[in-house]
Amino acid sequence: MTWYLQALALAFWLVIGLGTLAIIVIGILDRLQKSDAIRRNYPVIGRFRSLFSTLGEFFRQYFFAMDREELPFNRAQRDWVKHAAAGAGNTLAFGSTRNINVVGTALFTPNPFPPLDDQFSKSEPMQIGPHARMPFIARSFFNISGMSYGAISKPAVRALSRGAYKAGMWMNTGEGGLSPYHLEGGADIVYQIGTAKYGVRDADGNLDDDKLREIAGIPEVKMFELKLAQGAKPGKGGILPAEKITPEIAGIRGIHPGQDSLSPNRHKEISNFDELLDMLGHIREVTGKPVGIKTVMGGLDAFNDLFKCINARGAEHAPDFITLDGGEGGTGASPMPLMDLVGMSVREALPLLTDLRNKAGLKDRIRIVASGKLVNPGDVAWALAAGADFVTSARGFMFSLGCIQALKCNKNTCPTGITTHDPRFQAGLVVEDKDKRVAMYGKSVVKEVETIAHSVGVSEPRLLRRRHVRLVQPDGSSIPMNELFPSGRRSQTVS
């Protein structure tokens, strides 16, 4: 037994000695390095600052932040999606935890005599693209926004495709092209053409009509969306890090693997609205299907000029839809100044855009699709009341897949398997379970928006109007949205 204790003691002192040596070596290295002043002045101990900063993100999310404090999405928002996706009840007890005095909060106005149970109705399908050879009849007002295969993983795309089909929603490909996994579920597909024209480009990055026809020939592809800008990075093209570009993704996009994929900041063929309408007309003619644009508002002037250009040419030359993304929109990778500071919020921009469209006499010609942090029923109901015909969400459906807002989308280390191509992490995303959650979340949003519509006295969501919403002001009072955003205001100069 004595020899055992002696060996144990020797091992103990050996570990202590090696640990001390390691601390000394690290201390010397810290003192000699020149890049970090804290580590240079406080060897070894200074390293804890970086550790605690990293851990702080975790502790804030799980222990310190209140339910409605976090950004970009708080715990209450994420939990609602989680419960909706699981098919669990979303009823609450004892009262709301939401502070309704926050400026901009939307409060819906209850009707004293709402429709009876047998007077409710579902939203009717809506046609998009009356001048296309094959118009699209969209079944749902709530749909999946653009998320590229590459930015998100194979199992994530498969689950979204299956879930979209089950819920009767469309699924936008994002600018990364069409993969077999988008088609797996049989959902309606909106093919997004970004500035790099992935999937429909030639070797020089120009639009390839033959590839465009080939994509248009796929029955599930119902529309094309020409992406001019997105809310999280207006004026900046898409960014896909090299570590997320597999040979398969490179083949789908028509690019080279092993290097970052950076899209141009705009379509090189389009430098004015006439050229934009030319491009839209060309794509519509080649494909025979509706074509729209995705963009971000920075003011009224640009859209006023767009609608003037349309009316000068004729309504048949108009985009079939406009997807309006807010400056609060999300992405997997964007420079902070663009994500934080560029582009109007969809809360301000959407009413302005719909008023301009209507004033130009294009209400029945151009459909408006609202996007940008609209994940809960109240957000979607507000957008419909503001004038949107459809609402799309990306991050809401990511939450339904199990996203925990780890903020690792750009690092290929997403712990839930949604935005990574590491097989270890992807194994955690079980398609056969998550597709049901995607569908349930989409259906739950639609159902609860219908509930809001009924409470204000209309039979279905697209009958929501601005007079049904009051917006909280800085003094704590609320004002009807139709007074803040009256149609036909003098600043709208379309003629």
Provide the pLDDT for residue 76.
65
Which has more confidence, 176 or 135? Answer: 135
Q: Is 91 helix (H, G, I), strand (E, B) or coil?
A: coil
Which has more confidence, 97 or 467? Answer: 467
Quick one: 23 and 161 in the same domain?
no
Provide the pLDDT for residue 234.
57
Which residues, 6+ apart, have CB-to-CB distance to 414 below 8 Å?
A: 153, 406, 408, 420, 425
3-state secondary structure 265-334: CCCCCCCCHHHHHHHHHHHHHHHCCCEEEEEECCCHHHHHHHHHHHHHHCHHHCCCEEEEECCCCCCCCC
Composition of the chain by helix, strand, coil, percent to 5:
45, 15, 45
Mean pLDDT of 167-182: 94
Q: Does residue 155 contact residue 431 with C-beta atoms inside 8 Å?
A: yes
Provide the pLDDT for residue 284.
97
Q: How many structural domains does the chain have?
A: 2
Mean pLDDT of 118-128: 86
Quick one: 25 and 153 in the same domain?
no
Quick one: 263 and 361 in the same domain?
yes
Phi and psi at 290, nearest 5°, equal -60, 145
The tokens of 171 are what?
């699924």
Query: Is 76 part of a structural domain of the chain?
Result: no
In this predicted model, what pLDDT tens digit does every residue of 182-203 receive, in sequence order? 999 999 999 999 988 999 988 8
Mean pLDDT of the chain: 84
Provide the pLDDT for residue 122.
80
Query: Is 32 part of a structural domain of the chain?
Result: yes
User: Within its chain, how far is the Cα of 241 from the centroid?
Assistant: 19
Beta strands in 20-131 (DSSP E): 106-108, 126-128
Quick one: 175 and 289 in the same domain?
yes
Query: Is 95 part of a structural domain of the chain?
Result: no
Quick one: 181 and 51 in the same domain?
no
Provide the pLDDT for residue 262.
74
Quickly state the pLDDT bin for 75 (edges 50, 70, 90).
low
CATH number of the domain bearing residue 414: 3.20.20.70
Quick one: 368 and 228 in the same domain?
yes
Provide the pLDDT for residue 11.
79
Quick one: 163 and 56 in the same domain?
no
Which has more confidence, 474 or 81? Answer: 474
In this predicted model, what pLDDT tens digit does every residue of 218-264 receive, in sequence order? 999 999 999 998 655 555 566 677 777 788 888 888 787 777 777 78
Provide the pLDDT for residue 486.
84
- pLDDT above 60 for 123: yes
In this predicted model, what pLDDT tens digit does every residue of 319-377 receive, in sequence order? 999 999 886 665 555 555 555 556 688 899 999 999 999 999 999 999 999 998 898 99
Which has more confidence, 322 or 265? Answer: 322
Quick one: 447 and 357 in the same domain?
yes
Query: Is 79 part of a structural domain of the chain?
Result: no
Residue % of the chain over a pLDDT of 90? 45
Q: Does residue 376 contact residue 451 with C-beta atoms inside 8 Å?
A: no
Provide the pLDDT for residue 491.
46
Structural domain for 369, as ranges: 119-484
Provide the pLDDT for residue 420.
82
Query: Is 454 part of a structural domain of the chain?
Result: yes
In this predicted model, what pLDDT tens digit does every residue of 370-422 receive, in sequence order? 998 898 999 999 999 999 999 999 888 888 887 777 677 767 777 788 888 77
Count how many Cα atoms sit within 13 Å of the Cα of residue 350 in the half-sphere of its side chain: 34
Quick one: 60 and 201 in the same domain?
no
Query: Is 478 part of a structural domain of the chain?
Result: yes
Domain boundary among 64, 79, 98: 64
Quickly state the pLDDT bin for 490 (edges 50, 70, 90).
very low
Provide the pLDDT for residue 412.
73
Quick one: 34 and 126 in the same domain?
no
Provide the pLDDT for residue 344.
83
Provide the pLDDT for residue 88.
73
Query: Is 114 part of a structural domain of the chain?
Result: no
The tokens of 351 are what?
């009413």
Quick one: 10 and 144 in the same domain?
no
Provide the pLDDT for residue 294.
95
In this predicted model, what pLDDT tens digit does every residue of 18-72 receive, in sequence order? 888 888 888 888 788 877 777 777 787 777 766 666 655 555 555 555 555 555 6
- pLDDT above 50 for 143: yes
Query: Is 384 part of a structural domain of the chain?
Result: yes
Which has more confidence, 107 or 258? Answer: 107
Quick one: 58 and 160 in the same domain?
no
